[in-house]
Structure 1
Amino acid sequence: MFKTALIGAACVLAPLSVAAQVTLTAETSSPGGGAHYVSTTFAAALDSAGVANLQMTEGATLTNSVQAVAEGRLDVTTAPLILPFLLSRGIGPYSGVGKEKGAELAAEIRALYFHAAAHQTFGYYDSKPVADIRKLDGLRIWNGPPRGAALTSGRAMIQLLGGIKDGEGYEGVQTPWPDAVSTITSGAVEAWSIPSALPGGREIQFSAAGAITLFDVPSDLLNSELGQQIVKAPGHAPFSVPVDVYRAAYEGNDVTIVTDDDTFDTYSTAFAEIVRASMDEDLVFDIVTAMLDAQSRFEEGAPMGPYLNLTFGDIDGVSQGACGAVKIKMHPGAIRAYEAKGHTVADCLRP
């Protein structure tokens, strides 16, 4: 894990702007994924607008980051929406927090905006292919970091494809995010299930070490009872992109895309950028306004930009995975910023 301080513009160029900036602490995932791109682009947008200087820690374990925001030890983090859900119940990685304290902490979390920058894929190296992705028994499969939302989603993919659970039908391998690429490229595992952007930076790194094949979820499995349970599970949302568009995103890289129809279908990980409820409303208004003004920067700054599902318009809550089992609310300053731009925000997201 390492830190990148995003410094404001030089005083000689923008003295008023720099004077208005506040310094906030922030955390995000490792480079290469969509969540990292969203967070760092957000930080750059705030810096350019003279609103805030985010001192960003990269490669963080977001399970810890979400709790740190709720406790007031951290100002901003990107958060898979399953984490506030688990925290509110004191279960999973937050079982040590307990139900009562977890509910109190989750009630302190507010969303600034939403995105779904990562979708679940299954892959392997062509030099050692998996004969049938529905028969994964006995394999060593990288399925996520040691804990958190990505591990839950990775395990769900293997259970859906092969009907087996981690430690029972296959050996799940987990490493911290900074070690994911080296673990997979070293040949230490026979396949992987990983949340990906489009195109995925990690997948491009994988393919630099040898040709790879990526799979979506076969239609019959996706439409099965278990498949729909996974798609609708807390922290998930449906993902579907025309396969031609998906393949074009990886053009020039040694990546083969396999689907059973003309779309790449799977489930995405629903995210929000979160702060504590007590953050100053006017500051949040300025922060979210700067984010909305930076739409072209988000969408044009990287090939994955158009596929981030960032909320630059009306927010209905359901599409963001936030108004079902996940009960997260938006910060009043964020709601005010959206409404000032002429957008609507669903009642279920209001505190």
Structure 2
Amino acid sequence: MFTSALRLSLLAVAGIALTLPASAETRITYKSAKSSSSYYQMGVQIAEAMKAGTNGDIIVTVEESQGSVQNVMETRARGADYVFTTPPALVGLAQSGKAMFEGKTSPKFADIRALFPIPSLTMHFVMSKESEVNDFTDLEGTTLLLGKGSFGAREGTKYLKLFGLEGKVKLAEVELSNAVPALKNGQIDGFVTAGSWPAPNVIEAAASTDVNVLSLTDEQIAKTKRAKIVIPAGTYAGQETAITTTSLPVVAYTTTAMDDDTAYQLTKTFWETKAKMSETARWWDGVDQGLMGTITGKIHPGAVRYYEEAGFTLTDAQQ
């Protein structure tokens, strides 16, 4: 009799256990950038924030990448767990089969959907105070370090051409990693760098010597065909006024293969933990609702649900 009663009790417990919801751990792969870059570090911060913000329900693994083009291309072979970062312009090129995506189109490119913006690639023209350069008209005759092969180097070269300075500025043959010591010892008058603000090398330069970060006029920004961005006063040592410059927006994307609930939770957790991330990395201060306008394509329906709940304003093209 005791054995029968025990057996019935165990069956009852088993029945209750079967009715309880299983702990659903969702695993996400986040493809960012080279491991030495600030964008890879951002990915690590997002992974930590997702784990903490969802009590371990979402686990993000950060993968190194060789760049944004690779990130977009991999949507052809990836599944529902894939999140990647890239400028919105590259998504548009992929979906239209233009530029670097010519002859490499895929139906899966049409399924790319945005989740949330991350810090933009922001242009910095950093000049020593001794150079007495206060705007681009003063650059003629100076020695400038652009670096090689980077987005900042390409943009810097483009701006010199646009503003009539090609051949009028001496370009230093120094690696960008040596920009700060080269500026301090007078080897160069200034350097150009692009990254999330506040940029670590600009912080270092401003802390070790007097610098002036140039602003662009609205007319100059229009010529660059880049987004306008304002770096608040006080971001860098000695910077008493805001810096108006250009940026290349960067966004975290997935595809329609991801289910709505996961996209909703990723987006909700990102925005709700952004302030906490800003406590240890100030570049998150540059992400606010104003960057939503840089998303030129469609947003994932799950993310749209969060934005509607949170009172964000979305365009018809984004939904």
TM-score when normalising by structure 1: 0.66
CA apart distance, 1:330 = 0.8
Equivalent of 1:108 in 104, 108, 111: 111
Counterpart code for 2:203: I
The separation in 2 between residues aligned to 1:64 and 1:170, in whole angstroms, is 34
The separation in 1 between residues aligned to 2:174 and 2:114, in whole angstroms, is 29
Which residue does the alignment assign to 2:16? none
The separation in 2 between residues aligned to 1:349 and 1:272, in whole angstroms, is 13
CA apart distance, 1:331 = 0.9
> Which digits, 9 at most, give the CA deviation of each residue in 1:140-160, with x for residues without a partner?
63256x36x555534333334
Runs of 4+ aligned residues of structure 1 deviating over 6 Å after TM superposition are: 31-34, 126-132, 172-175
Q: How does 1:287-302 map to 2 (within 5 A)?
A: 287-302=266-281
| Structure 1, 330-339 or 130-139: larger mean CA deviation | 130-139
> Which digits, 9 at most, give the CA deviation of each residue in 1:174-196, with x for residues without a partner?
98xxxx5x343464984432224
Counterpart code for 1:337: Y
Which residue does the alignment assign to 2:73? 67
The separation in 1 between residues aligned to 2:164 and 2:210, in whole angstroms, is 20
Counterpart code for 1:120: M
Q: Is the 8 A contact 2:263 2:302 kept in 1?
A: yes
Which residue does the alignment assign to 2:94? 87
Q: Is the 8 A contact 2:221 2:228 kept in 1?
A: no
Counterpart code for 1:75: Y
User: Is residue 237 from structure 1 mapped to residue 227 from structure 2 by the alignment?
Assistant: yes
Which structure's CA Rg is the greater one? 2
Q: Is the 8 A contact 1:88 1:107 kept in 2?
A: yes
Q: What percent of counterpart residues are identical?
A: 17
TM-score when normalising by structure 2: 0.72
CA apart distance, 1:275 = 1.2
> Which digits, 9 at most, give the CA deviation of each residue in 1:209-228, with x for residues without a partner?
x526242234xxx233x531
User: Is residue 345 from structure 1 mapped to residue 314 from structure 2 by the alignment?
Assistant: yes
Which residue does the alignment assign to 1:24? 28
Counterpart code for 2:24: A
> Which digits, 9 at most, give the CA deviation of each residue in 1:325-351, with x for residues without a partner?
xxx21111111222233434221112x
Q: Secondary structure at the match of 2:293?
A: coil
Which residue does the alignment assign to 1:47? 51
Unaligned runs of 5+ in 2: 1-19
Q: Is the 8 A contact 1:143 1:154 kept in 2?
A: no
Q: Secondary structure at the match of 1:249?
A: coil
The separation in 2 between residues aligned to 1:183 and 1:61, in whole angstroms, is 23
User: Is residue 121 from structure 1 mapped to residue 112 from structure 2 by the alignment?
Assistant: no
The separation in 2 between residues aligned to 1:142 and 1:195, in whole angstroms, is 10
Which residue does the alignment assign to 2:298? 329
CA apart distance, 1:56 = 1.2
Which structure dedicates a bigger proportion of its chain to helix? Answer: 2
Which residue does the alignment assign to 2:287? 309
> Which digits, 9 at most, give the CA deviation of each residue in 1:44-89, with x for residues without a partner?
2211112322221357423322322354288222222232233344
The separation in 1 between residues aligned to 2:165 and 2:108, in whole angstroms, is 35
> Which digits, 9 at most, give the CA deviation of each residue in 1:75-124, with x for residues without a partner?
222222232233344445x1xx316x447454232110124444211124
Q: Is the 8 A contact 1:27 1:60 kept in 2?
A: no
Q: Is the 8 A contact 1:112 1:273 kept in 2?
A: yes
CA apart distance, 1:198 = 3.4
Q: Is the 8 A contact 2:94 2:105 kept in 1?
A: yes
Which residue does the alignment assign to 1:8? none
Instruction: Tell me the C-alpha RMSD between the 2 structures.
Output: 4.0
Which residue does the alignment assign to 2:199? 200
Q: Is the 8 A contact 1:34 1:117 kept in 2?
A: no
